[in-house]
Amino acid sequence: MAEQSGDGANGVGPADGNDEEARRKRRQRFKIFGAATAAALLVGGVYWLLTRNEETTDDAFIEANMVQIAPQVGGIVAAVHFSDNQRVASGQLLIEIDPRDLAAQRDSARASLNVALAQEQAAQADLDLVKATTGAAVDEARHGVEQARHQVAEAYQTAEAAGADAARAAADVKRYEDLFQKADASKQRLEQAVAETRGTSARWRAAQLAATAAASNQAQAEARYRDALAAPQRVAQKEAQLANSRAMIELAAANLHAAELNLSYAGIFAPQAGRIGRKAVNAGDVVQKNQILTSLVVDPPWVIANFKETQLTRMRPGQPVGMTVDAFPDHRFQGRVDSIQPGSGARFSLLPPENATGNYVKVVQRFPVKIVFDDPSDALVGQLAPGLSVLPAVDVATTAETPK
């Protein structure tokens, strides 16, 4: 009883000591929790201040133009001047096709052009000759017609005179025969009259034949005159032949140009700088026109980042972008927003959604954003290949749009 009264007199029991220790521990835990909360708020505030003007997405990849290398002519591959995944320069010779057949076609086309040129020269000479002789031929033919008409008139007059002489001679023979019967004329004179009659008859027949021949000559002269008058038609014909020859020259020249182009296609060159991908040709292969032989990934690459529509509020072309690529995590690339696609990725898909059918569930859409690198000559940029994953961060605090 004495001990109990003694403890009571002091006023401090075991229970009171335990309560004090518990309160001290609670205060310590509250301090730690408060400090941690304050630190978290501080870190969160700093992070928010640093990232409130950034928009990021993990749905971003490297893209690049890819050119399909194909020949414009068929033939045997003579040489291949690249290997798998090799980097090539713009204009570098990639593939050679055996040019011998193409060279023979070019030589044949050149020979055809020379033939057409010779035909054009001959047609021009014929036209010049016809034009030079047309006027003189018409005048000569007209003069020939007039001369033939005079000859015909003269021949008919001669035949008429010969006919009169023959008639007179026949009358003389009849008269002398009557006189010979009466013994008033000698037999010799009668014989002279008969002989004269034969001569005049022969001259009359000759004059008639001459008149007929003169008429025939007149007809021929008139035919020549009509033919001479047709000279303009002959000139037109020669001009048509000349035009045809010139058209043949143009056709032969076009064929020669096509043959020279085909010969130039025997060498296949890199259209742009880039890297070879999917090599599918070797020396000795027989290739056809438009056959895909290899692909060329063209420099420089760019980034396609698919941002949510809620991230586009302040995004503008020209804003700076910091990027990291999974393949090069220790290097930070710098770029800028080039453009924003005028439509969501779903609207440009092969089968866009039709929201007017079925039950509708709102889904946040993504819009492809093209990002280009500030320094395409960076060695690491040259190593970026299409399909690599990218983590871009767009600084949307910059509102100025860079003019294109």
Mean pLDDT of 120-130: 86
Report the distance separating Cα 390 and Cα 66, nearest Å.
19
Q: What is the pLDDT of residues 37-87, one digit of tens each?
A: 877 877 777 665 555 678 999 999 999 999 999 999 999 999 999 999 999
Question: What is the tens place of the pLDDT at every residue in 137-178?
Answer: 666 666 766 777 777 777 777 767 777 767 776 776 676 666
Ranked by mean pLDDT, the top range of 4-8, 96-100, 381-385 is: 96-100
Please check the confidence at residue 404 and state whether its pLDDT lies above 60. no
Q: In angstroms, how far is the first alpha carbon of the chain from the final one?
A: 101
Distance of alpha carbon 36 from alpha carbon 242, whole angstroms: 102
The helix-helix angle for 187-229 and 100-181 (nearest 10°) equals: 160
- Rounded Cα distance between 109 and 246, Å, is 16
From 282, 368, 373, select the one nearest 332 (Cα to Cα).
Answer: 373
pLDDT tens readout for residues 245-261: 999 999 999 999 999 99
pLDDT at 9: 45
Task: Check whether 217 has a pLDDT greater than 60.
Answer: yes
Give residue limits of the domains in the chain: 66-100+264-296, 103-261
Q: Mean pLDDT of all residues in the chain?
A: 83
Eight-state DSSP code of residue 298: E
Contacts of 202 (CB under 8 A, 6+ apart): none
pLDDT for the residue numbered 190: 62
CA distances, 17 to each of 24, 29, 310 (Å): 11, 19, 59
Q: What angle do CA 34, 39, 40 make, to 5 degrees?
A: 100
pLDDT of residue 119: 93
Tell me the CATH number for domain 66-100+264-296: 2.40.50.100
What is the distance between the alpha carbons of residues 110 and 259, in angstroms, rounded to a whole number?
A: 9
Q: Average pLDDT for residues 281-310, to the nearest whole number?
A: 94
User: For a pLDDT cut of 70, what percent of the chain falls above it?
Assistant: 79
103-261 maps to CATH 1.10.287: yes
CA distance 102 to 97: 10
